[in-house]
Amino acid sequence: MDFFRSQESLTTIQWILRAVAAYFFLLITAKAMGQRSISQLRFLDFIIALILGNIIAHPLSDEHSGLVGSMITTIVLVVLYTTTSWLSLKWNFLKHYLDPPPLRLIKNGQIQMKSLRKAKISIDHLFSELRKQQIEDIANVALALWEPGGIISVFLEPPYQPVTAKDMNIPTSSFSLVKPIIVEGSSDDKLLAQLGKDHAWLEAQIQAAHLDMKDVELATIDDQDQIRIYTDLDDNEKDEQTLSR
């Protein structure tokens, strides 16, 4: 365990062991911090990410820096982070400081210049975000909000909103989520158990399509137990079969 401590020099093996230990330690740390800190950087998340990256980087590049001290510091910061996140759910002042309310950038087709300056974004950036959402005319925008995570939420005026099946009085079927049940010849036994099915049932469905399990590149199943099978006929052609059960 000498690679944990500060030394005059480290051998190649010790450098490797230090990197492996830091890698798995960061995996555990990221898991303890929660998924939100990864998917959406808030103000607090950004600060923690910068600090942790700096703390762990030193012992991975400098043999005179011990790894134990960096790990202890990281654990303390993670505890402070989780505590602050929990307090932000209970204390409104802290909640509004870490997760401020969205800024209104556009209202009824009019740009709110004061909010743009407060958000520190330019007109060009605003129009770029509108183009990404296929909005060609700012006059069609009823409301645009600058969210705390840095995303612009846009709501169109009712006449410019996409027409839905309900608007056209078109009958629709109930929502059905399609999930992969077979990938490259291997079945998802956990999903089968959730559906109340077993491997023998799946084998029977595949055999009904005159196929072997190993020949199925992809098979999906929906909430009505309808299986859709995709097989690779050759390098340029795909075959799709649907089974309803």
| Residues 231, 211 contacting (CB under 8 angstroms) | yes
Q: Identify the burial level of 93 via C-beta atoms within 10 angstroms of its C-beta, where 0-12 means exposed, 13-18 middle and 19 or more buried.
A: exposed
Same-domain pairing of 46 and 75: yes
The pLDDT value recorded for residue 7 is: 65
Give residue 189's domain range: 179-243
Q: Identify the burial level of 70 via C-beta atoms within 10 angstroms of its C-beta, where 0-12 means exposed, 13-18 middle and 19 or more buried.
A: buried
Q: How far apart are CA 219 and CA 176, in angstroms?
A: 16
Find which of 93-97, 162-166, 172-176, 217-221 is predicted with most confidence, using mean pLDDT: 217-221
Q: Is 174 part of a structural domain of the chain?
A: no
Q: Is 33 part of a structural domain of the chain?
A: yes
The pLDDT value recorded for residue 237 is: 43
Q: Read off the pLDDT of residues 84-141 as tens digits, 9 standing for 90 and up.
A: 878 888 888 877 777 778 899 999 999 999 999 988 889 999 999 999 999 989 999 9
Q: Read off the pLDDT of residues 208-232 as tens digits, 9 standing for 90 and up.
A: 888 888 888 899 998 888 888 887 6
Q: Is 171 part of a structural domain of the chain?
A: no
Same-domain pairing of 87 and 107: no
pTM of the model: 0.57
Look at residue 197 and tell me whether its pLDDT is greater than 50. yes
Same-domain pairing of 29 and 112: no
Same-domain pairing of 28 and 113: no
Same-domain pairing of 88 and 10: yes
